[in-house]
Structure 1
Amino acid sequence: MAVATRVAEFCERYGLDVPILQAPMAGACPPELAVAVAEAGGMGAAGAVLDHPDRIREWVRRFREGSSRSYQINLWIPDPPAVADTGEQEARRFLERFGDPGEAGGSPPSFDEQCEELLAASPTAISSIMGVFEPAMVERMHAAGVAWFACATTLEEALEAERAGADVVVAQGIEAGGHRGTFDPDAAGRTAIGLVALVPQLVDALTVPVVATGGIADGRAVAAALALGASAVQVGTAYLRSPEVGIAQPWSEGLAAAAPETSVLTRAYSGRPGRALPTAFVRSWSAPDAPPPARYPVQRRLVAQWRRGRTGSSGPGGVDAVNQWAGQAARLARAEPAGAITTRLWQEARQVLGVEDGGHRASPSAGPDPA
């Protein structure tokens, strides 16, 4: 299928003008960002893994105040029950060098309650990472006209997602910033497939559309992903320096200075591997005297507790105030409005591809094709 036709069909189905999806970056996806992307013709996003239902509801309310266009909400599929030794005690002792711990946090959100809130919100798409939804959830999504976008980092995962009923597979290359979406937590650190190798193999093997994500921060990369067979792209790091996100200056400057080889895969922030800037905190977990980070979600809980401490993120040598995620194309991210980024990426890609008409406005409530 020609690129223009494939892109136009995807855009029509999901209510887009341009084949660009905002990545659902938990902690860095305020509704203002999603509104800007959606109003520029792309798909906005919320990363809701840390959000209780009331916060999800508030995010949706604010998004809908600003836009009636397409958006997705993302959840993590829960990991299997924790092993007996999560490494908590060793990680806790190591964290003491970064300051005093704060008070323990409240209870984490209930996955089942999050799912109910997402179904009530009825977004264009519910997306998943780290696994697949149970059949009953998939059935309820489709009955409500909501599409399921499933993240996969391998061909095996993509095929599993399609068999489970995914309407779209998001192919995440090793270049992507943030958490790796690998289903098996123990394999996440060693599963390292680049986007150029991953996308065409998924396209050849699947019957559902493929969205490419990882290292996409300018129009050349958008065009390359579409030429490989993707129907759209998902962009994360390229939006982080936009005023709608408003990240701290050190993180923004780190992104602007990052070479392709600068970012590292680390478990320091959550216990799950993710690609981030090599801050002093991140590097410390690779020192000879450092223990392995605790398993997810224990490490994430501990880091959050130290951030609440009296001297944690506020003092020199403390825990990073936020997770400084960074994809391998971070240096290409520009400090410009998110709507302008969305428009520029597609304009640049069309020039590379020679595409005259890559998408058009469709119903923003368009869901999965019933067939």
Structure 2
Amino acid sequence: MSTWPDTRILDLLGIDVPIIQAPMAGATTAQMVIAANEAGALGSMPAAALSIEQLRDALSTIRQASTRPINVNFFCHQPPEADDARDRRWKDLLQPYYRELGADFDAPTPVTNRAPFNEAACEVVEAFRPEVVSFHFGLPEKSLLDRVKATGAKVLSSATTVEEAIWLEQHGCDAIIAMGLEAGGHRGMFLSDDLNSQIGLMALVPQIVDAVSVPVIAAGGIADARGIAAAFALGASAVQIGTAYLLTPEATVSPSHHHALRHAQASETALTNLFTGRPARGIVNRVMRELGAINPLAPAFPRAGGALLPLKAKDEAGFSNLWAGQAVGLRHPFATRELTTWLAEQALSRLSR
């Protein structure tokens, strides 16, 4: 499709439609990436919740099925130092739920992990040479980033403020993902932990477009052709879409998550730090309502989730993260390839009027 009003992302990434299927840890599968690729979009494989062996297997599957460009996404946070006292206070807060649900409070607390980009992950990039590598929570240290760029990969990262966008461009990003407050999953914020700094996509995109010289990708609250057309009107060169793909058959979501996605409205999502320790948008459930979506006792990312795992095993709907963005009410009955094609065709039709 050559009639898009801005083709900078198409040219930069070697794709046919300016849609990036968002990398959603735990929900995105190799089959989703392949299907998005087949529709001409950029399929994105999230690495944060995978072991190195699992990541290698997923990329092998994708490479065997498709020769089109792919994106591999990594978190690049700094793992926190152990804080046993904070962990204990957090688990003590949850003790009434353990008693109610019959979970063993005295058993060792499970460990949750989100692996940051490191030497081993960089070696995977060097072996598979994905055309695009994207990061969340800033960028990795310069020596690792230089190795990524040496493979020829284009580098993307998420900015939740204008200041973050400027920083990312100055530190080598080829394009910026402008992540509006509407977006589901973890906020990409990294220069500040102040939630008051977070703004909606309509205000964020044009300000980032004006502040940087690289192309901007709009993310957050986009799930149909109207959102795509609006993003281009604001100056974006592409969109990144996540929540709309969660109901495709290629997604792996739990039955409780799937039910919530099918019934929730936009007003039923909120930012919460309960499940990992970092703010992330999900559908409001019991533990968010009763403890407060943002609770200062939650341990630092990613340690908060461990104490919730025994409760999740007893009551998944009430104690698991149900990630979703504010466009959760815009539901489409398509598989990944069909959804991507439909989104692109409908958006082009609107933009051509």
Q: Structure 2-normalised TM-score?
A: 0.89
Query: Residue 111 of structure 1 aligns to a residue in which SS?
Result: coil
Relative to 1, partners in 2 of residues 1:81 and 1:243: Cα closer, same or farther, differing over 3 Å? closer
Task: Return 96-105 or 230-239, whichever deviates more.
Answer: 96-105
Aligned equivalents of 1:163, 1:83: Cα separation in 2: 33
Alignment correspondent of 2:321 = 323
The number of equivalent residue pairs is 344
For residues 263-286 of structure 1, give each alpha carbon's deviation from its aligned partner in whole angstroms, at most 9, with x where no partner exists. 011011101000000111322321
Q: Aligned ranges for residues 179-258 of structure 1 at < 5 Å?
A: 179-184=186-191, 186-187=193-194, 189-258=195-264
Alignment correspondent of 1:334 = 332
Relative to 1, partners in 2 of residues 1:57 and 1:95: Cα closer, same or farther, differing over 3 Å? same
Q: Aligned AA for 1:258? A: A
Aligned equivalents of 1:194, 1:226: Cα separation in 2: 16
Identity within the alignment, %: 35
Task: Return 294-303 or 227-236, whichever deviates more.
Answer: 294-303
Query: Residue 156 of structure 2 aligns to a residue in which SS?
Result: strand
Aligned match of 1:277 in 264, 272, 283?
283
Alignment correspondent of 1:297 = 302
Relative to 1, partners in 2 of residues 1:185 and 1:300: Cα closer, same or farther, differing over 3 Å? farther
Contact residue 36 and residue 336 of structure 2 kept, 8 A? yes
Tell me if 1:131 matches 2:135: no
Shift of 1:161: 0.3
Tell me if 1:175 matches 2:175: no
Coordinate RMSD, CA, aligned: 2.5
Alignment correspondent of 2:53 = 54
Aligned equivalents of 2:111, 2:293: Cα separation in 1: 28
Normalized per residue, the structure richer in helix is: 2
Alignment correspondent of 2:38 = 39
Relative to 1, partners in 2 of residues 1:204 and 1:316: Cα closer, same or farther, differing over 3 Å? closer
Relative to 1, partners in 2 of residues 1:144 and 1:246: Cα closer, same or farther, differing over 3 Å? closer
Aligned equivalents of 1:335, 1:16: Cα separation in 2: 24
Aligned equivalents of 2:252, 2:28: Cα separation in 1: 10
Relative to 1, partners in 2 of residues 1:280 and 1:116: Cα closer, same or farther, differing over 3 Å? same
Contact residue 33 and residue 245 of structure 1 kept, 8 A? yes
Contact residue 139 and residue 145 of structure 2 kept, 8 A? no
Q: Which has the higher contact order (CA 8 A, sep 6+)?
A: 1
Q: Aligned ranges for residues 16-27 of structure 1 at < 5 Å?
A: 16-27=15-26
Structure 2 spans left out of the alignment, 5+ residues: none
Aligned equivalents of 2:79, 2:69: Cα separation in 1: 32
Relative to 1, partners in 2 of residues 1:61 and 1:291: Cα closer, same or farther, differing over 3 Å? same
Query: Residue 264 of structure 1 aligns to a residue in which SS?
Result: strand
